[in-house]
């Protein structure tokens, strides 16, 4: 039984839209199950495709539910528990939130903290991608197909500079350490208008998105060190009012305290500290 996880950088043309591509590969005999994994919220959208016939399961309302062949994941605030059953590969396209509006002109407000079948959300045009990559053993070929699918959306690309896009990018750029009041003032838009736009298009508030991004960056910071973190330093570096504030926020998004997460990292599926591999030409 073995599990591997890899991330791959997008081509230059798509770097403004795609965080990375990733592959999770679970190999086992028969229908053995993987250890239960945990996906924490990191402020990104996901298009996820099973590349083989075996599908993973996710825990919802204390019941294990089989995931669709291909599905779309909106912005999450909760940690999701899942497991693989039998040998299988999952391929993901991790998108920046504003990218879906720019590439597909589709808001994701209705999918906050939820997922749905990919065809239901983005239409039948996704079936070509699903069929093209199913069963393909070469991950580079899968990535090429994904890039072709995304680049085809450039014909409808919305290049207008919009305060919502700018706000989303600025929050990430500041690693979540920015006030919504300062953001509104910088973008010459009222706080109420910014909140309404976030809610309509992402399903959440700019404040919650800011907190999720700050949590993500704090998590990344201590995943890149072999020394036990100083939680007071982490709290200070990422703009928390004190250590108690940091631990309270961290527990809200991870369902665990930082120390336990640090010593149990193998169960956490999304590990953004891993350096993405470059897409081969």
Pairwise CA distance, residues 70 & 109, whole Å: 20
- Give the Cα separation of 149 and 162 in Å (integer): 24
> pLDDT of 259-274, one tens digit each?
888 887 556 544 444 4
Tens of pLDDT, residue by residue over 75-123, are: 999 999 999 999 999 999 999 999 999 999 899 999 999 999 999 999 9
Query: How much is the pLDDT for 264?
Result: 72
In the chain, where are the structural domains located?
Answer: 2-156, 163-267
Provide the pLDDT for residue 259: 87
The percentage of the chain sitting over the pLDDT mark of 90, rounded to a whole number, equals: 75
pLDDT score for 206: 97
- In tens, the pLDDT along 115-162 reads 999 999 999 989 999 999 999 999 999 999 999 999 999 987 877 779
| Integer Cα distance of 89 and 135 in angstroms | 9
Residue 139 in contact with residue 23, Cβ under 8 Å? yes
Q: What kind and span of H or E run contains 219?
A: helix 206-223
What number is the average pLDDT over the span 204-221? 95
**Fold of the domain spanning 163-267:** Arc Repressor Mutant, subunit A (1.10.10)
The CATH class of 2-156 is mainly beta
Record the pTM: 0.91
Q: How far apart are CA 160 and CA 227, in angstroms?
A: 45
Would you state the pLDDT for residue 274?
Answer: 47
- Are the C-beta atoms of 114 and 58 separated by less than 8 Å? no
Beta bridge partners of 63: 60
The answer for residues whose C-beta is within 8 angstroms of residue 167's C-beta and 6 or more apart is 183, 187, 194, 198, 206
Mean pLDDT in residue range 165-185: 95
């Amino acid at each position: 039984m073995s599990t591997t996880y890899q991330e791959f950088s997008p081509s230059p043309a798509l770097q403004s839209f795609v965080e990375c591509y990733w592959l999770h590969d679970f190999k086992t005999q028969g229908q053995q199950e993987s250890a239960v994994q945990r996906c924490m919220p990191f402020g990104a959208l996901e298009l996820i495709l099973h590349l083989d016939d075996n599908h993973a399961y996710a825990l919802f309302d204390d019941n294990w539910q089989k995931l669709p062949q291909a599905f779309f994941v909106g912005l999450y605030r909760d940690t999701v528990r899942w497991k693989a059953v039998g040998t299988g590969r999952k391929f993901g396209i991790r998108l920046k939130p504003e990218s879906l509006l720019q590439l597909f002109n589709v808001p994701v407000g209705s999918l906050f903290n939820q997922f749905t079948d990919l065809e239901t959300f983005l239409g039948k045009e996704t079936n070509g991608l699903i069929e093209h990559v199913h069963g393909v053993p070469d991950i580079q070929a899968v990535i090429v197909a994904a890039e072709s699918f995304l680049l085809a959306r450039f014909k409808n690309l919305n290049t207008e500079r919009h305060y919502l896009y700018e706000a989303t990018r600025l929050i990430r750029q500041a690693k979540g350490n920015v006030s919504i009041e300062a953001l509104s003032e910088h973008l010459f838009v009222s706080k109420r208008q910014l909140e309404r736009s976030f809610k309509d298009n992402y399903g959440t508030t700019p404040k919650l998105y800011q907190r999720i991004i700050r949590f993500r960056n704090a998590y990344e910071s201590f995943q890149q060190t072999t020394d036990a973190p100083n939680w007071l330093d982490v709290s200070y570096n990422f703009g928390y009012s004190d250590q108690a504030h940091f631990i309270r926020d961290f527990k809200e998004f991870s369902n665990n305290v930082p120390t336990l997460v640090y010593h149990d990292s193998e169960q956490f599926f999304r590990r953004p500290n891993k350096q993405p591999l470059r897409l081969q030409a």
